[in-house]
Amino acid sequence: MNGALTFVGTASALVEPGRFHTSFLVETREGTLLVEAGDGAARALNRQGRAPNEIDAIAISHHHADHSGGLTALVNQMSMADRATPLSVYTHEEDVGAVHDSLRRSYMLEESLGFEIEVVGFRHDALVRVFDGLSFTPRRSSHLDRYLRATDEPHGDISYHAASFRFALGDRNVVYTGDVASREDLLLFADAPIDAMICEAAHVGAADIIATLAEARPGRLLLVHWSLADRREVLGRLLDENVPAVEFAADGQTIFL
Ligand SMILES: [Zn+2]
Ligand SMILES: [Zn+2]
């Protein structure tokens, strides 16, 4: 076995009873990476019986509140639990300054935290090595392009990068779509074999999911970032089309790779 993946949350941006925004842990022998730290991330981990200081590194796909709005509160919990080991936070290189700034403005100052935070900027299509046996490649999705289309003058200091990730756990590939805007975004990593695909279900429809199964041919397709209404709609269509190989991931679920 190369590692395990545990869903800390599977909900969309909508707050729903008893569920948390989409995030998951990628665990290998070398360490634990949390992917996404949206609003309520510290509580979501707590719900799953996981301590904040089990996490060695955090990767954030983009900065909507359901993906990064809980980062500061989670770092605060790490500090209150007497963390001494360094923490790495991966974000797009154009967002490194903003992440530093939001931590500093919440008084998460390195000199008083008691541990070191390294905010590491990634570039699309460039491999990031997290630990021995775990690396990831980010690729740009068009999820945030609507903000660019909505204005002639992009707000200078705001980055509009949303990433999808391909994780390599040893010889196993896991694709996480992050948030997307089109069917094309679901196929960003269709150029290589995919053992498991974690696909968001809020910004795409059942037809896009069925097409992804046919084109990307993942060994396993798990849906995340779904609201109860999304689930009803998508499930109805999957049943109509008799599609067998799709799973709705649930908060707390673990898969082994
Ligand atoms: Zn989202
Ligand atoms: Zn988003």
Q: Is the pLDDT of residue 196 over 80?
A: yes
Closest ligand (CA of 162): 2
Closest ligand (CA of 63): 2
Question: Residue 225: its pLDDT value, please?
Answer: 98
Question: Residue 115: its pLDDT value, please?
Answer: 96
Phi, psi of 190, rounded to the nearest 5 degrees:
-75, 0
Ligand 2 center to 178 CA (angstroms): 8
Q: Torsion angle of alpha carbons 227, 6, 199, 245, nearest 10°?
A: -100
pTM of the model: 0.97
Q: Is the pLDDT of residue 154 over 70?
A: no
H/E segment holding residue 87: strand 87-92
Ligand 2 center to 64 CA (angstroms): 5
Q: Provide mean pLDDT across the span 235-251.
A: 87
Ligand 1 center to 18 CA (angstroms): 17
Comparing 35 with 153, the larger pLDDT belongs to 35
Q: Provide mean pLDDT across the span 192-207.
A: 95
Ligand 1 center to 12 CA (angstroms): 6
Closest ligand (CA of 142): 2
Closest ligand (CA of 143): 2
Ligand 1 center to 110 CA (angstroms): 29
Q: Is the pLDDT of residue 244 over 80?
A: no
Q: Is the pLDDT of residue 179 over 90?
A: yes
**Residue 24 · residue 7 · CB < 8 Å:** yes
Count the domains in the chain. Answer: 1
Ligand 1 center to 68 CA (angstroms): 9
Question: Residue 49: its pLDDT value, please?
Answer: 98
Question: Residue 190: its pLDDT value, please?
Answer: 96
Question: Residue 30: its pLDDT value, please?
Answer: 96
Question: Residue 72: its pLDDT value, please?
Answer: 97
CATH classification at residue 202 = 3.60.15.10
Residues constituting the chain: 257
Q: Provide mean pLDDT across the span 112-133.
A: 96
Q: Provide mean pLDDT across the span 187-196.
A: 97
Q: Is the pLDDT of residue 216 over 90?
A: yes
Structural domain span for residue 212: 4-256
Ligand 1 center to 112 CA (angstroms): 32
Phi, psi of 214, rounded to the nearest 5 degrees:
-70, -35
Question: Residue 93: its pLDDT value, please?
Answer: 97
Of 106, 166, 113, the closest CA to residue 140 belongs to 166
Q: Provide mean pLDDT across the span 157-164.
A: 91
Q: Is the pLDDT of residue 133 over 90?
A: yes
Q: Provide mean pLDDT across the span 138-161.
A: 85
- Residue the block writes with tokens 């599609």: 243
Ligand 2 center to 162 CA (angstroms): 8
Ligand 1 center to 84 CA (angstroms): 31
